[in-house]
Structure 1
Amino acid sequence: MRVVSTAPTRQRLIDWGREEWAAFRRGLIKILVVTNLVLGAYYLLWRGTASLNWDAWLFALALFAAELYSYISSFLFGVTVFRLRERGEPPPAPAGLRVDVYITCYNEPVELVRKTVRAAVAIRYPHQTYLLDDGDNPAMRAMACEEGCGYITRSAVWKGFDRHAKAGNLMNALEQTTGDYILVLDADQVPLPQILDRTLGYFNDPRVAFVQTPQYFINVPPGDPFGSQAPLFYGPIQQGKDGWNAAFFCGSNAVLRREALARTGIHFFVRDVERRIRRALREADTVIRRAQRKLMRTERQQIAPALRALCRAVSDARRELNRGDTFQEVTERFQHRVEEAARMVVAADLQQIMADLAEIQAAEAAEIMRSLHDEAVLAELARRDRSPLAAIETVRQLVPLLVNEAMDYLPISTISVTEDMSTSMRLHATGWRSVYHDEILAHGLAPEDLRSALQQRLRWAQGTIQVFLRENPLLLPGLSIGQRIAYLDTMWSYFSGVPTVIYLIAPVLFLMFGLLPVNALSAEFFWRLTPYLLVNQLLFAVISWGRPTWRGQQYSLALFPLWIKAVVTAAANVWFGKKLGFIVTPKTRQAGRYLGLVRWQLLMMVLITVAIGVGLSQLALGWRSDGMPVLVNVFWAVYDLIMLSVVIDAALYQPPEEQ
């Protein structure tokens, strides 16, 4: 009698069940996304046209604006996950690829980095491992030598230039290595031996620029008090972006194609140089026209031809740029025309000087006149401040100065402290593809105290806002509509600080002062709002199925002061040049309790608690008769307290004593 094993059959059934559930879930997500957007639009249309309480118009409009913000957030999130992509088993890695592994570090503990270096050297696929030490630490160099790892620090060419933090560290390494593919690891991200075997196969598609894998942290205590794990982002959100070919490069645990970085760097270098030249020409045009207006109020009409020549030079340069002439040709011709205009001014000045001196020293005047035919003399005079028209010198130097500032092309974006997002968006804008492989292939370390966690989140938020203000995805040429929405979804989320304040203060204003932003909390109001909220929560539950996302939801609301600070400081940096600095997240616990870091949240919690007490007391004493609105706002306020309470646990958290 032959015994047939049922294990393979059982496994096939399990796999089939998973595939069926995955397909059903993706279809359900699409239905819920559309339903949620329709119900939200239906509710907001009614809110904006029939329910605003104009007796409290400022409060009413503020809350309505916050609701519009939330609806846009829901729209962006819904569109992002609408094409959620689950890739499954990756293609096998081809043999013979030249791969470099970069481990970026800056003043981390040597023994911590050693674990990452040792694991990187042990990766199975043939490769070269390099430690990129931006701290130039002799102990780190010695450790790298002991572990058989290459060691790279900044070359001398960086002296005197902006170092660009981690982006500069990576670019410096790219200049000193030759691998066609680069695995980037943070100092604390310990890779598994199969990381390259599980990712390199995607590069069989020559259009793939990078493959990103999740970041997972092994030191997160039970309850995740700092919200370090990001299962929603490193799951449905990245999978949704992947469906639109918009998965993010997240700075670590990613493999990048060198060719894609180089080509994209050249593309944006050319774009930036052209932009600089056009800006210089605009500034030159402004300087010339201002000089012409001043000239009309003087008797120096003999230099008017020079100014007209400058105007023609600017027009000719613009026409040549539009025609596609090289930047070198355009700038050289422009400079030559400016030199000619400068000589015309000098000649006019000398003629005036000669006339003034004719009655005093005819001989000296004649000598100066003869110098008009000496090109060397004219050039020297044109370079000095003797010209009465300083605009000539200003215009002469605009273009070369702006072009020289560009230096070499930059394969890693430097417009933001989050170089990873900006670089991936540029890669997508240039036509490259990305892959999100949802498999944990490295184990990292999360911040172990609230201060470090907040520093990390502030840097992420600031960098994201910098990218939004400098290269808005809605305006960046080359992106598809889906990519624009996928990038905007993440950027938009960091503007939630002010809307959150409005949501938090709304029940307080009603419970304490009776201010109601709607005409009445009637049945009509709840019949329109409740279905929208329920479908919204159902959509979120289906999207995050099997992933613990509650802590992330709490922090998205509770960190409202941080989001406001990020927007203000990033805008000050982009618009006014105020430096942000680059704070490397500490990899070891910083001692202390941090209630002072969450003082605004604590103040809001006290205010909400007082408001609940006031509202319920007034209701119990019969001082107000609006029982249902009071209870609704009390429920709302209690929910806010639960969401904000996460910061107390984080501020007071102490790790267990080591045995």
Structure 2
Amino acid sequence: MNRPEAAGAARPALPRLAGPGRAARAGVRLALAAAGAGLLALVVVTPLDLRSQASLALATFALGLAAARSASPAFLVVLSTAATARYFWWRVTSTVALEPSLDGVLGLVLLAAELYAGAMLLLAYGQSIAPLPRAPAPLPPDRSRWPTVDVFIPTYDEPLEVVRGTVLAARALDWPRGRLRVHLLDDGRRPAFRAFAAEAGVAYLTRDENAHAKAGNLNHALALTSGELVAVFDCDHVPARSFLADTAGGFLEDPGLALVQTPHEFYSPDPFTRNLGLPASVPAEHELFYGVIQRGLDTWNASFFCGSCALLRRAALADVGGIAVETVTEDAHTALKMHRRGWRSAYLDLPRAAGLSTESLSAHVGQRIRWARGMAQLFRIDNPLLGPGLRPGQRLSYLAAMLHFFSGVPRLVFLTVPLAYLLFGRHVFNALPLAALAYGLPHLVHSTAASARLHGRFRHSFWSEVYETALACYLAVPTTVALLAPAAGRFNVTAKGGRIEAPYFDAAIAWPYLALAGLNGAALVAGGWRLWTSAGDWDALAINLAWVLHNLVVLAACLGAACERRQVRASPRVPARLPAVLSVAGHAPVACEAVDLSRGGLRLEMPWRAGGLPARARAAVALAAPDGALPGPPLPAFVVADEGAWVRLRFAPLDLARESELVRAMFSRPEPWLDVRRALRPERPIATLARIAARGAAGVGRMLSLTARAALRPTPTPLAAGSRT
């Protein structure tokens, strides 16, 4: 198989420096960079007394505040890097106790956790400082030149109702019919799926065994198909009609392009958003990766395959032996192999598909455990720092993605270190408390400000701590085991399509949060008593008390996320603004507007009219097509409620043609996923911390209420396997 270098130049090479003027400018830039690095090193290592360090800290605060709105993000990153480097220089040279003692060992453990966090901060800056804006590459007017595409929809044990919408939407992709083939890859070997594929007119592929799980399923399909490009969608990720039209053009422009990845958006809220009752302006957990980091990785030609919502070149897959099977994160590993072979990737930051979030916090944790174990396996058996084929930016980008999942142990350290002093009087930090503030506060404040500026609307400050804390106890062991024994563990499928029938507190997943909250609460009481009785250094007590109070705020939010809310609707609603016509027996047809849709029903905004519609009255609603085509066949329904300005309908059973029409109206347009992005708002860090505290306090209240209710009257199994209709 030809490697991309042999396929022709995909992008023009950088021009060589020519002439004395170009060489002089390059020399000036190099000299300025060297001078800047030297100045930064001087700022980092210059010793100061406590008063002078405090004055320097205040000066940097004033400088950062003045530049927060007007300066470029790069300036804030440089300021943060200087403050962080100075803090760690001071930590290593002035606070490490060399004599063997319990305090010294605990201090080294804390320093190791801090160094991990500092390294991740700098790697995040490298990923986020220059995100690459990328627009869809145009396709030629002659459709006969468009590449042939195989669409793969792998499934194992998901309900058919989850899969139907994805298959029907894939069938409706805007692509020449003779150049598109949709394949349902059923590793569950279920007759109902075979029958549905035949009814829908798509190919049905299965195999006799399940070796290598999803990766094996995809490789089996690759061996039986021949399209030039391969689109992969998880069985719950429903593509918009324009997915291929937006992503395929780059493969014609760039013969060395192996992959175009698009964001994963979700039309159901994740457990944090739903259980904590967060507004649409607060970004969900996935938004940082798809809104900022993947665009930054694209700058370094390091954006990687995320397992779904992606288009890949078959030749590139063949060049690396197909989808990687050595780890359970087959997607990222496949991209790493392609990058090692010289292929290029692209990230197109246009949401063109949406899927189901995990229904519960326990399912969310289980999914992240698989990701973490796979990244740890990848770090062990195909470390990006070693081996051929990668550029420095790619090596560091992959390293950051892998190290992110090692945050469990450092996060547990941060959650427990202040307990050593408040409960047992151990001095973990070998320095004066005021010196720790003078050096540590600039690092914390400037890193928060720079991250807020870089991440903008896609990650609000302190939420990362909530997400990492919720996972910490569950990631520490799997990542360690995967490092020691990469072959241990197995692929687990993330459950989709269930419904929480009744609210409950998931004590089985929340017990680590309860234990850590109890320990931090005990430390808060003990420290408060010592402060009240003057039985200790007031400054050390105050710092550690503030630390455990922060821990308790974060842990309370985790407890709130473990309070599962009842899902009232059987299927999530997708926002819409589509012209519609409602027909009810005995009433004249009414032109109206559909304002949200689900697989089970819809809500219509009605013009003013007299009289009401009886509940359970038979009705039919015709929806305007999102692409401007004529409406399809009317959808039979029943009136649920007539609320004057609004009418709610439940769909009657739909045949395949009408179900396809509903899927086209719901998912073929990208506007709902773009609207999710537009709803996000820039943050204010202090307000964000206050929001987390308020949501956490409310969550603890719900936890106590649900626990008391369960003790008085046990509830049935809350997560019912059901369909998303």
Asked if these proteins are the same fold (TM beyond 0.5), I'd say yes
Task: Confirm whether residue 112 of structure 1 aligns to residue 159 of structure 2.
Answer: no
Which residue of structure 2 lines up, in the alignment, with residue 513 of structure 1? 424
Give the whole-Å Cα distance in 2 for the aligned partners of 1:30 and 1:427. 31
Shift of 1:228: 6.2
Give the whole-Å Cα distance in 1 for the aligned partners of 2:148 and 2:71. 41
Which residue of structure 1 lines up, in the alignment, with residue 587 of structure 2? none
Match of 1:257 among 275, 296, 313: 313
Identical pairs, percent: 37
Shift of 1:593: 4.0
Shift of 1:211: 0.3
Letter of the structure 1 residue corresponding to residue 568 of structure 2: E
Which residue of structure 1 lines up, in the alignment, with residue 80 of structure 2? 36
Task: Confirm whether residue 585 of structure 1 aligns to residue 495 of structure 2.
Answer: yes
Letter of the structure 2 residue corresponding to residue 34 of structure 1: V
| Per-residue Cα deviation, 1:208-228 (whole angstroms, up to 9, x for no partner) | 101000001111068344996
Match of 1:190 among 232, 238, 242: 238
| Per-residue Cα deviation, 1:274-320 (whole angstroms, up to 9, x for no partner) | xxxxxxxxxxxxxxxxxxxxxxxxxxxxxxxxxxxxxxxxxxxxxxx
* Cα distance change of structure 1 residues 67 and 594 upon mapping to structure 2, 3 Å threshold: same
Give the whole-Å Cα distance in 2 for the aligned partners of 1:102 and 1:593. 38
Letter of the structure 1 residue corresponding to residue 164 of structure 2: R
On the 8 A contact 1:217/1:229 being kept in 2, the answer is no
Map residues 75-86 of structure 1 onto 2, 5 A cutoff. Answer: 75-86=122-133
Which residue of structure 2 lines up, in the alignment, with residue 213 of structure 1? 262
Which residue of structure 2 lines up, in the alignment, with residue 274 of structure 1? none
| Per-residue Cα deviation, 1:527-585 (whole angstroms, up to 9, x for no partner) | 222111111111110121122445444111331111112213323542xx434343343
Map residues 117-132 of structure 1 onto 2, 5 A cutoff. Answer: 117-126=167-176, 127-132=180-185
Give the whole-Å Cα distance in 2 for the aligned partners of 1:200 and 1:49. 54
Shift of 1:25: 9.6
SS at match of 1:413: coil
Shift of 1:646: 2.8
Task: Confirm whether residue 560 of structure 1 aligns to residue 616 of structure 2.
Answer: no
What's the TM-score once normalised by structure 1's chain length? 0.70
Shift of 1:69: 1.2
Which residue of structure 2 lines up, in the alignment, with residue 478 of structure 1? 389
Map residues 327-476 of structure 1 onto 2, 5 A cutoff. Answer: 411-476=322-387
Q: Which structure dedicates a bigger proportion of its chain to strand?
A: 2
Letter of the structure 2 residue corresponding to residue 257 of structure 1: R
* Cα distance change of structure 1 residues 447 and 584 upon mapping to structure 2, 3 Å threshold: closer
* Greater displacement, 577-586 / 58-67: 577-586
Which residue of structure 1 lines up, in the alignment, with residue 121 of structure 2? 74
Shift of 1:526: 2.0
On the 8 A contact 1:199/1:255 being kept in 2, the answer is yes
Task: Confirm whether residue 615 of structure 1 aligns to residue 527 of structure 2.
Answer: yes
| Per-residue Cα deviation, 1:380-418 (whole angstroms, up to 9, x for no partner) | xxxxxxxxxxxxxxxxxxxxxxxxxxxxxxx11111111
Q: CA RMSD in A?
A: 2.2
Give the whole-Å Cα distance in 2 for the aligned partners of 1:413 and 1:638. 45
Which residue of structure 2 lines up, in the alignment, with residue 176 of structure 1? 224
* Greater displacement, 186-195 / 92-101: 92-101
* Greater displacement, 36-45 / 95-104: 36-45
Give the whole-Å Cα distance in 1 for the aligned partners of 2:545 and 2:494. 42
Shift of 1:467: 0.6
* Structure 2, unaligned runs of 5 or more: 1-67, 277-282, 570-639, 641-725
Give the whole-Å Cα distance in 2 for the aligned partners of 1:466 and 1:31. 37
Give the whole-Å Cα distance in 1 for the aligned partners of 2:303 and 2:512. 34
Give the whole-Å Cα distance in 1 for the aligned partners of 2:524 and 2:490. 40
SS at match of 1:255: strand
Q: Which structure dedicates a bigger proportion of its chain to helix?
A: 1
Letter of the structure 2 residue corresponding to residue 118 of structure 1: L
Give the whole-Å Cα distance in 2 for the aligned partners of 1:582 and 1:46. 45
Give the whole-Å Cα distance in 2 for the aligned partners of 1:452 and 1:235. 23
Letter of the structure 1 residue corresponding to residue 343 of structure 2: W
| Per-residue Cα deviation, 1:215-266 (whole angstroms, up to 9, x for no partner) | 011110683449964000011111111110000100000000001111122x
Give the whole-Å Cα distance in 1 for the aligned partners of 2:506 and 2:548. 25
Which residue of structure 1 lines up, in the alignment, with residue 193 of structure 2? 140
* Greater displacement, 228-237 / 117-126: 228-237
SS at match of 2:258: strand
On the 8 A contact 1:52/1:517 being kept in 2, the answer is no
* Greater displacement, 220-229 / 489-498: 220-229
Give the whole-Å Cα distance in 2 for the aligned partners of 1:431 and 1:26. 39
Which residue of structure 1 lines up, in the alignment, with residue 543 of structure 2? 632
Match of 2:302 among 235, 246, 259: 246
Shift of 1:590: 6.2
SS at match of 1:443: strand
Shift of 1:74: 1.3
| Per-residue Cα deviation, 1:166-193 (whole angstroms, up to 9, x for no partner) | 0001011111111100110000001000
Give the whole-Å Cα distance in 1 for the aligned partners of 2:213 and 2:285. 25
Letter of the structure 2 residue corresponding to residue 235 of structure 1: G
On the 8 A contact 2:292/2:458 being kept in 1, the answer is no
On the 8 A contact 1:189/1:444 being kept in 2, the answer is yes
Which residue of structure 2 lines up, in the alignment, with residue 165 of structure 1? 213
Give the whole-Å Cα distance in 2 for the aligned partners of 1:527 and 1:551. 25
SS at match of 1:559: helix
On the 8 A contact 2:237/2:353 being kept in 1, the answer is yes
Give the whole-Å Cα distance in 2 for the aligned partners of 1:587 and 1:138. 19
| Per-residue Cα deviation, 1:44-80 (whole angstroms, up to 9, x for no partner) | 1111111235562111111111111111111221222
| Per-residue Cα deviation, 1:344-395 (whole angstroms, up to 9, x for no partner) | xxxxxxxxxxxxxxxxxxxxxxxxxxxxxxxxxxxxxxxxxxxxxxxxxxxx
Choose between structure 1 and 2 for higher RCO, CA contacts under 8 A separated by at least 6 residues: 1
* Cα distance change of structure 1 residues 445 and 25 upon mapping to structure 2, 3 Å threshold: farther
